[in-house]
Amino acid sequence: MTRVDRSRLFLASCTALAATAMSFAIRGDIMGDVQRLLSLSDVQVGWILGAAFWGFGLSILVGGPLCDVLGMGTIIRIAAVGHIGGALLTVLSKDFTTFFAATVIIGIANGLVEAAINPLVATIYSEDKTRRLVTLHAWFPGGIVIGGVLAFLFTQLGLNWQAKMILLLAPAAFYTAMAMGQRFPPTERKAAGVPFGDMFREVARPLFLIVWAAMWITAATELGPGSWIPTIFNRVMGSSAQAGILVVVWINGVMYLLRQFGANAAHAVSPVALIGVTAIPAAVGLYLFSLADSPLTAFAAATLFAAGVAFWWPTMLGITSERFPRGGALLLAIIGASGSFSTAVAGPIMGWISETYGTARVLAYWALLPTVLVAIFGGIYLYDRTRGGYSVEKLSRGQAV
């Protein structure tokens, strides 16, 4: 039987996640031109942007359990077809209906990538889950940086929005080629012989419900400000160069470096303690950004915020995989989908804060969210201490109960 090539599958997973991130960055860059050239209303633009997040979350939720039914390799290959087909349909779009459909297809592909690569990496690196998941998820901010910088350069070269969208074909084609002819293992849960029904019973465990609730807060804190920071920078600071997008690129660059080269941080303390401790600089960074009155102070606050949230998303996945391995791909899908839904909900809430209290106050109020995380993860950490510290639950092959 063909052996599992862990390095190749990991590289394919990283590239697939970079493609997902690039789709978000490029779509955000081109929407102004698309709205003008396709004569779209603000409501239609809202539908398109919403479709990207809701399609992402729903397909994660559905795709997770399908990893056990169809196999993780099949899910990744379907995602590749969606990325390539969705990008081509986007380029050919002449009206709202076609562009909306293309966005939905890419959103589904993005969700299927997330649904497959998390249990895949947790399975092939079952002895080192959190660190590998952190390194894998370095490529989401990495993809944002790549997509954002390339889109900016294409703008300077005078290339149109269709040319920018074609960029998505490169990583999609690469991870397709990397996945072809490869043997994908069964998920860790399936390999251990844990019954399919037991996977669903893990959802009701009290600690998982606490982690699930915390994911809504971590995702809203980490990703919610991304769509507002450029507006705040440009509007409140009066940036004549409209350079707010560069702050987002900077934040994602910092996050990429920390995830790529600081992946051991989670177990240097414990994954739980890491989130609880880093919630403090995240809160301070958001609050200081709301007070910033110059590019220098804004970038300094953004750096502090980025350092605070850098490890959150992959560490939440790592905690889920390490503490609830019997939940398999389903629990990882629930956590990922909840993060996507939380981000979609965060946008309108932050808009309400902006209209009610002023744009300059949005991040000051948003800084309250990570303070809740200090209490949640501080409590879990103290609970773990009474039981001997953070523990990783192991599944042995053939384990049925």
Looking at residue 399, its pLDDT comes to: 45
Tell me how far apart the alpha carbons of residues 75 and 112 are, in angstroms, rounded to a whole number: 6
Tell me how far apart the alpha carbons of residues 130 and 190 are, in angstroms, rounded to a whole number: 20
Is 58:111 a contact under the CB 8 Å cutoff?
Answer: yes
Q: Does residue 236 register a pLDDT over 70?
A: no
- pLDDT-based confidence at residue 307 (cuts at 50, 70, 90): very high
Q: Does residue 41 register a pLDDT over 60?
A: yes
Q: What is the DSSP letter of 184?
A: P
**Which residue in this structure is represented by tokens 């303390």?**
269
Cβ–Cβ contacts within 10 Å for residue 277, how many?
17
Please state the rounded mean pLDDT for residues 362-385. Answer: 95
Tell me how far apart the alpha carbons of residues 88 and 293 are, in angstroms, rounded to a whole number: 43
Q: Does residue 228 register a pLDDT over 80?
A: no
Q: Does residue 233 register a pLDDT over 60?
A: yes
Q: Does residue 193 register a pLDDT over 90?
A: no
Which of 394, 369, 191, 398 minimizes the C-alpha distance to 284? 369
Helix axes 244-261 and 129-136, enclosed angle (nearest 10):
150
**Half-sphere exposure (CA, 13 Å, Cβ side) for 388?**
2
Q: Which residue has the higher pLDDT, 24 or 284?
A: 284
Tell me how far apart the alpha carbons of residues 181 and 193 are, in angstroms, rounded to a whole number: 26
- pLDDT-based confidence at residue 22 (cuts at 50, 70, 90): very high
Secondary structure (3-state) at 69: helix
Please state the rounded mean pLDDT for residues 19-38. Answer: 86
Q: Does residue 377 register a pLDDT over 60?
A: yes
Query: What are the helix (H) ranges across 193-270?
Result: 196-201, 206-223, 229-236, 244-261, 265-268
Tell me how far apart the alpha carbons of residues 107 and 112 are, in angstroms, rounded to a whole number: 9
Burial class (CB in 10 A: 0-12, 13-18, 19+), 43: exposed
- Residue 224 to residues 67, 89, 115, 171, 305, Cα–Cα distance (Å): 29, 28, 21, 26, 12
For the ranges 160-174, 191-205, 280-294, 374-388, the lowest mean pLDDT is seen at 191-205
State what percent of residues in the chain have pLDDT above 90: 50
Q: Which residue has the higher pLDDT, 211 or 66?
A: 211
Looking at residue 1, its pLDDT comes to: 47
Which are the contacts of 388, defined by CB distance < 8 A and separation ≥ 6?
A: none
Q: Which residue has the higher pLDDT, 348 or 2?
A: 348
Q: What is the CA radius of gyration of the chain?
A: 20
pLDDT tens-digit series, residues 68-122 = 888 999 999 999 999 999 999 999 999 999 999 999 999 999 999 999 999 999 8
pLDDT tens-digit series, residues 141-150 = 999 999 988 9
Tell me how far apart the alpha carbons of residues 138 and 123 are, in angstroms, rounded to a whole number: 19
Q: Does residue 191 register a pLDDT over 50?
A: yes
Tell me how far apart the alpha carbons of residues 80 and 85 are, in angstroms, rounded to a whole number: 8
Looking at residue 400, its pLDDT comes to: 35
